[in-house]
Structure 1
Amino acid sequence: MLPRLKGLFHLDLVRSTKAVQHLTTFVVAGISTILITRLYLALSGYPQIGGDTGLHVAHVLPGGLLMLFAMWLQLSYIGPGPRPVAALFGGIGFGLFLDEVGKFVTSDNDYFFAPSAAIMYVVFAGFVVGAHFWRRRVPLSDAERVANAAHVLVDGLAGRLSENRRAEVLHSLDEVGDVEGAAEVRRLLERIETRAPAVPQRLEGWWQRVADGFARVSRSRFALPVMGVLLFTQVAWALLVLAWLTLSDAPHGVSVGGVLLGTAGSVVFTTTGLWQGRRRGRRAAVESFQRSVLTSLLLTQVFLFAASQFAATAGLLGDLVLLGLVNADLARSRRVRG
Structure 2
Amino acid sequence: MSRTPVTHGFLRTASAAAHLRLFVLVGVLTVLVTRAFLSLADYPKLGGGAGKGGLHIAHMLWGGLLMLAGLLVMLVFTGVASRQRGAVIGGVGFGLFIDEVGKLVSVDGYFYRPAAGIIYLTFVALTGLAWWVTRRGRSDREAAPAATRSAAAADTALHGVLRGLTPQERDEALRRLRDTGAPATELDAALAALLEVVPERPARGFRPHHHAAQRVRTWLTVRVSGNRGSVHIAAWGATLQAALLLVAIAADGLTGNLAAETQWTAITGALACSLTSLVLSVRGTALLRRDRNAALHNLRAALLVDLLLGQAFKFMINQFSAVAGWLISLALLHVLSAQMGRRQVQRAPAGHGMSENGTG
TM-score by structure 2 length?
0.71
Alignment of 1:151-300 (within 5 A): 151-158=155-162, 160-161=163-164, 163=166, 166-168=167-169, 170-171=171-172, 174=175, 178-179=179-180, 180=184, 185=191, 188-195=194-201, 216=221, 222=227, 226-227=230-231, 229-240=233-244, 243=247, 246-247=251-252, 249=257, 251=261, 253-273=264-284, 282=293, 286-300=296-310
Alignment-derived partner of residue 49 in structure 1: 46
Matched letter for residue 34 of structure 1? V
Query: Shift of the alpha carbon at 1:262?
Result: 1.8
Task: Work out whether residues 125 and 298 of structure 1, in 8 Å CA contact, stay in contact via their aligned partners in 2.
Answer: yes
Query: Shift of the alpha carbon at 1:168?
Result: 4.5
Task: Work out whether residues 239 and 281 of structure 2, in 8 Å CA contact, stay in contact via their aligned partners in 1.
Answer: no
**Structure 1: distance between partners of 2:85 and 2:96:** 17
Quick one: which of 323, 327, 335 aligns to 1:317? 327
Query: Shift of the alpha carbon at 1:47?
Result: 1.4
Alignment-derived partner of residue 98 in structure 1: 98
| Secondary structure at 1:111 match in 2 | helix
Query: Shift of the alpha carbon at 1:100?
Result: 0.7
| Secondary structure at 1:140 match in 2 | helix
Query: Shift of the alpha carbon at 1:130?
Result: 4.1
* Number of residue equivalences: 324
**Structure 2: distance between partners of 1:307 and 1:137:** 36
Segments of 5+ residues of structure 1 without an aligned counterpart are none
Compare CA radii of gyration and give the structure with the larger one. 2
Query: Shift of the alpha carbon at 1:7?
Result: 9.4
Task: Work out whether residues 64 and 94 of structure 2, in 8 Å CA contact, stay in contact via their aligned partners in 1.
Answer: yes
**Given the superposition, is the C-alpha separation of residues 62 and 20 from structure 1 closer, same or farther in structure 2, using an over 3 Å criterion?**
same
Alignment-derived partner of residue 62 in structure 1: 62
Query: Shift of the alpha carbon at 1:241?
Result: 5.3
Alignment-derived partner of residue 36 in structure 2: 39
| Secondary structure at 1:81 match in 2 | helix
**Given the superposition, is the C-alpha separation of residues 274 and 311 from structure 1 closer, same or farther in structure 2, using an over 3 Å criterion?**
same
Residue 150 (structure 1) aligned with residue 147 (structure 2):
no
Alignment-derived partner of residue 11 in structure 1: 8
Matched letter for residue 86 of structure 2? A
| Secondary structure at 1:78 match in 2 | coil
Query: Shift of the alpha carbon at 1:49?
Result: 2.0
Q: How far does the alpha carbon of each residue in 1:250-295 deviate from its partner, in whole angstroms, 9 at most, with x for none?
A: 736344443332233223434555667776774x555444422320
Task: Work out whether residues 73 and 82 of structure 1, in 8 Å CA contact, stay in contact via their aligned partners in 2.
Answer: yes
**Is the deviation greater in 63-72 or in 15-24?**
15-24
Task: Work out whether residues 225 and 338 of structure 2, in 8 Å CA contact, stay in contact via their aligned partners in 1.
Answer: no
**Structure 1: distance between partners of 2:239 and 2:136:** 28
Task: Work out whether residues 59 and 96 of structure 2, in 8 Å CA contact, stay in contact via their aligned partners in 1.
Answer: yes
Q: How far does the alpha carbon of each residue in 1:80-136 deviate from its partner, in whole angstroms, 9 at most, with x for none?
A: 222222222211111100111111012x36111111111111111122234324544
Query: Shift of the alpha carbon at 1:305?
Result: 0.7
Task: Work out whether residues 242 and 256 of structure 1, in 8 Å CA contact, stay in contact via their aligned partners in 2.
Answer: no
**Structure 1: distance between partners of 2:240 and 2:224:** 26
Task: Work out whether residues 70 and 85 of structure 1, in 8 Å CA contact, stay in contact via their aligned partners in 2.
Answer: yes
**Structure 2: distance between partners of 1:174 and 1:219:** 36
**Given the superposition, is the C-alpha separation of residues 156 and 134 from structure 1 closer, same or farther in structure 2, using an over 3 Å criterion?**
closer
| Secondary structure at 1:194 match in 2 | coil
**Is the deviation greater in 245-254 or in 40-49?**
245-254
Alignment-derived partner of residue 356 in structure 2: none
TM-score by structure 1 length?
0.75
**Structure 1: distance between partners of 2:178 and 2:22:** 31
Task: Work out whether residues 234 and 318 of structure 1, in 8 Å CA contact, stay in contact via their aligned partners in 2.
Answer: no
Alignment-derived partner of residue 114 in structure 2: 115
